Amino acid sequence: MRAFGRIKQGEVHVVRTISNNEFRFQVPALDEAAFLFDFDGTLVDIAPTPEAVVVPDGLADTLRQLRDKCGDALAVISGRPIDQIDHFLGDIPFAVAGEHGIAIRHRPGGPIERAALPTLPQQWLIEARALVEMYPGTRLEHKQAGFVLHYRAAPEAGAALKKAAEGWMHEADGAFHLQAAKMAWEIRPTGVDKGYAVSLLMQAAPFEGRKPVFVGDDVTDEDGIAAAKRLKGVGLRIPTDFPTPAVFRSWLSMLVGQER
């Protein structure tokens, strides 16, 4: 499904899909806005595995144009580590926040700043490795500060993985928490989220003084959406405001003036 029309009345955007559904929201003008986008399920479609994601034709060009038109104020805020966003998007975003805000690179070529957080208990990793061995099709994605148990290829294993993770969270006594993700459970240190990343990025150039427009699709994105709204900006979610990533991308290309 793709958007095929947009009416802009002042700052009100109306996206109409081929099936004639209508989505309305307000977005600041490009010279007043800062854009902070989630990656998986927002800029790109969900794929069977994290590596299988495809950056659709035209997206890089659209994002470059957007960055150009909003004074460089374009960031990607992802649950993925920063190097994976670099792999898919290269130098397109000005800033990148990875691991849900734990790692932030504020400017192109700049250092990656990591939040100081509790160290992941190695015993959980050992147990997680054993667990994914027990359930074929599941997989472990190890991040620096936590890990993800994926069950997209083995949906029937989701409940068992969750139960194990809940046991670890009981031991963690609040230092870590369990995040529901898309066909996955993520174990993350408590204290940093995408809202923190939005707030931090918005404190410095080229984002400072602009109104944040955050777009995401998952539970973890709700913190980014809330932070953008707190900062007098806009928080939009797929599927509430855009039915699919494809419609979101169509809207983006219309926003920068390449009507599709």
Ligand X SMILES: O=P(O)(O)OC[C@H]1O[C@H](O[C@H]2O[C@H](CO)[C@@H](O)[C@H](O)[C@H]2O)[C@H](O)[C@@H](O)[C@@H]1O
Q: Does 177 bind ligand X (CB under 6 A)?
A: no
- Residues with a known catalytic role: 38
The conformational region for residue 244 under phi > 0 = left, psi -120 to 50 = alpha, else beta, is beta
Report yes or no: 50 and 57 within 8 Å, Cβ to Cβ. no
DSSP one-letter code for 28 = -
One symbol per residue from 216 to 235: x for binding ligand X (CB under 6 A), - otherwise; what is it?
A: --x-x---------------
Q: Does 182 bind ligand X (CB under 6 A)?
A: yes
Q: Does 181 bind ligand X (CB under 6 A)?
A: yes
Bridge partners for 75 per DSSP: 36, 95
Report yes or no: 140 and 129 within 8 Å, Cβ to Cβ. yes
One symbol per residue from 29 to 68: x for binding ligand X (CB under 6 A), - otherwise; what is it?
A: ---------xxxx----xxxxx--x---------------
Residue nearest to ligand X (CB): 79
DSSP one-letter code for 50 = G
Q: Does 169 bind ligand X (CB under 6 A)?
A: no
Question: Which span sits near ligand X by CB under 6 A: 65-73, 75-83, 205-213, 244-252?
Answer: 75-83
In angstroms, the CA 210 to CA 34 distance is 6
| Tokens encoding 249 | 């991308």
| Chain residues that interact with ligand X, rule: CB under 6 A | 38-41, 46-50, 53, 78-80, 141, 148, 150, 152, 181-184, 218, 220
